[in-house]
Amino acid sequence: MSQMNLPDAVEYALSLLGKDGGVVVGGNSASNNLRWANSALTTNGDAVDQTLAISAFVKLAGGVGTGMASGQVRNKNDVENLVAASKSAATSAGPAVDAMELVAGPLHDDFSDKPAELSVADITHVSNGLGEVLRQRSQEFFGFAEQSRDTTYVGTSAGTRMRYVENTSRFELCAKSLDRTRSAWSGQGGTSLRNVSVQVHSDEVLAKLEHQKNIINVEPGRHRVTLSPSAAADLMIYFLWSAAAREAAEGRNAFANPKGGTRIGEKLSDRRISLATDPSLAGMETFDHVVNLGSSALSSAFDTGMEIPRIQVITDGTLTALGSSRHAAKSAKLPFTPLTDNIEFKDQDGHGSLSELASRMNDGLLITCLWYIREVDPQNLLLTGLTRDGVYVVRDGQIAGAANNFRFNESPIEMLSRVTDAGDAFACLPREWADWFSRAKVAPVTITDFNLSSRSDAV
C-alpha cells in the first residue's frame, strides 16, 4: 500500500496543528455498483477512495481564523503540506464569525481500527437476482444497485476521537413496455443490498405497468393527490435543507417572520404532523455528533464533537425548530439544533399502507415519483418538478388507470396546511435526492389542491 494509515494521519495532522488546533477528518470510502439498461448489464464499478481533510484554526488579532485543505496522503510529507496549506488559508481568512470553543467530544475505542472493508457479497446478491428478471422479454428493465461502506475518522484538538462506519445501499428498478409508452419504478434504500429482493421489486413494477394499460387523460390544475413516501420525502428533504435558523433570523428565507424573527411556533398544519432528524432512527442510524470542516447556514467546524440529539423541526403540525450551528443559534437567540443525515416525517393520526391511503382518497391521483425538483421562489419555498414513472387515477377507491405526467409548482411548507390524510411512515428511497440523502422514513400523504401546473408528455 502506498497510502498512510488514516488514524495515524489524523494524529500526525493534529500534532502539527499545535495549540491553535483544528479538526481533522480521514475518510475511506469503498463502493461497488452495477447498472443495467435495455435488460442487460452495462457499466459497473469497484472503487476505493481515501482522503484526509483538515480545518486549521489559527489565533489572530480579533479572533480565530479557519482554513481547509484536503487530499490523499501517502506519507508524513503529504500531511505536512496539507497542514501548512490549511494554516496559511486560516491566517489569510481573518477571524471567523462562527468561532467557538471546540468541545471535548467522544473517544471511540475503535478509533485506531482499520477501515471497514467491503466484500462483493452484497453486489453479487443483486447480480444473482437480476439474471432471471432480465430474461423476461415482455418488457425492458433498467436500474442501478450500489453498496458503499464509508469509514470516517474524526479528530479534534479538543481531544475528540471518533470513528464511524456507515453502510449505505441503494437499489432501483425501472420497467418499460417495449414501445416505451409505459414506465414504472421501484426503489429501496438501506444499509445492505442483501436485504433487497429483486423479484419483489420486479413484481411491483410489472403490476404498475399493468395499471398503466388504461390511459386516462387528466388535465393540469389543482388536484387531490396522494404522494408516495418517496415523493413526499423528496419535498420534505428540501424543506429540511432550507430550514436554516440563520437565514430565517436575517429575514432571508421562507422561515423568516416578516415582522421579525422566525416562524418557529407557527402552525403549519392542523394535523399532528412531525418532521425530525434523529441519529438513532432505527435502521437509519447515522452521525450522532457533529462532523464538519467548513461553515454554512446549518453547521460549523467549531461544532465538531457536539452531540446531535433528535431534533423535532415540526411537532404536531407546528414549526418547532430550525437547523443551526452554535453560532447561528446564539445569534438568532434560539437553541442549538444540529441536524443529521436522515429524516422522519409522519402524521400521528396517519395509518395504513400507501395503497390503503390511496383507496381512502377515493377520487384523486396517486403520484409515485417526483423528479428534477428545483427551487423557483425562495420567499415561499416554491418548488417545481415533474411527476415520473406512474401517476395513477383513483376512482371510487380503486386504481382505474394511469394519467399522463405533470409539472408541479408547490411549496412543501404551504402544502402541509392541505394535508387531509396520511399513512404509516415507511423506509423509502427518495428518487430525486438519493445521491445525497437516502435515509428516509416518510409517511405517504394525501393533499388537496396540489398544483399540477402543466402537462408533461414524457414517459
Partner 1 sequence: MIQFAIPAPPSELAAVALETAAALGASVAQFRLAAHDSRGVSIRDGEVENIGADTSIAMSVRVVHGGAWGFAATTDLSAIGASDVANRAVSMAKLSTLVAVDEVVLAAEPRHGKQSWTLPIEIDAFSKSDDEVIHFLQEWNSRVAASSIVSHIESNIAMGRDRTFYADLIGNEITQQRDRISAALTAIHVSDSGFEDMRTCAPPAGRGWEYLTGTGWDWNSEIDQIPEYLAEKVKSPSVTPGAMDLVIDPTNLWLTIHESIGHATELDRALGYEANYAGTSFATIDKLGVFKYGSPIMNVTGDRIADHGLSTVGFDDEGVSAQRWDLIKDGILVGYQTDRSIASKIDMDRSNGCAFADSALHSPIQRMPNVSLQPGTDSTTTADLIADVQSGIYIVGDKSWSIDMQRFNFQFTGQRFHEIKNGKIVGQLKDVAYQSKTPDFWGAMRRIGGAQTYLLGGALNCGKGQPGQVAPVSHGCPSALFTGINVLNTRDESGA
Min CB(425)–partner 1 separation in Å: 26
Q: Does 119 bind partner 1 (CB under 8 A)?
A: no
**What does the block give as the cell for 113?**
481500527
Kindly tell me which of 272 and 407 has the beta carbon lying closer to partner 1: 407
Letter string b/e over residues 116-147, b meaning 16 or more CB atoms within 10 A of that residue's CB: bebeeebbebbbebbeebbeeeebbbbbbbbb
Residue of the chain from 154, 256, 321, 391 that contacts partner 1 (CB under 8 A): 256
Q: Does 47 bind partner 1 (CB under 8 A)?
A: yes
Looking at residue 300, what DSSP letter applies? B
Q: Does 446 bind partner 1 (CB under 8 A)?
A: no
**What does the block give as the cell for 270?**
392542523
Q: Does 34 bind partner 1 (CB under 8 A)?
A: yes
What would you report as the CA-atom Rg of the chain, rounded to the nearest whole angstrom? 24
Q: Does 181 bind partner 1 (CB under 8 A)?
A: no
Residue of the chain from 5, 39, 167, 315 that contacts partner 1 (CB under 8 A): 39
Q: Does 435 bind partner 1 (CB under 8 A)?
A: yes
Helix, strand or coil, per DSSP, at residue 329: helix
Residue of the chain from 226, 411, 438, 446 that contacts partner 1 (CB under 8 A): 411
CA distances (Å), 424 to each of 237, 280, 412, 427, in order? 18, 19, 19, 10
Residues 6+ apart with CB under 8 A from 422: 271, 273, 346, 347, 349, 350, 351, 357, 443, 444, 445, 446
Question: Beta strand pairing status for 364-377 and 221-227?
Answer: parallel
Q: Give the span between the Cα atoms of 293 and 270, in whole angstroms.
A: 39
Looking at residue 91, what DSSP letter applies? H
Residue of the chain from 64, 79, 103, 134 that contacts partner 1 (CB under 8 A): 134
Q: Does 194 bind partner 1 (CB under 8 A)?
A: no
Q: Does 67 bind partner 1 (CB under 8 A)?
A: yes
Min CB(173)–partner 1 separation in Å: 8
Residues 280-319 interacting with partner 1 (rule: CB under 8 A): 293-296
Q: Which part of the chain contacts partner 1 (CB under 8 A), choosing from 129-137, 155-163, 282-290, 437-445?
A: 129-137
Residues 85-114 interacting with partner 1 (rule: CB under 8 A): 85-86, 88-97
Residue of the chain from 114, 252, 267, 310 that contacts partner 1 (CB under 8 A): 252
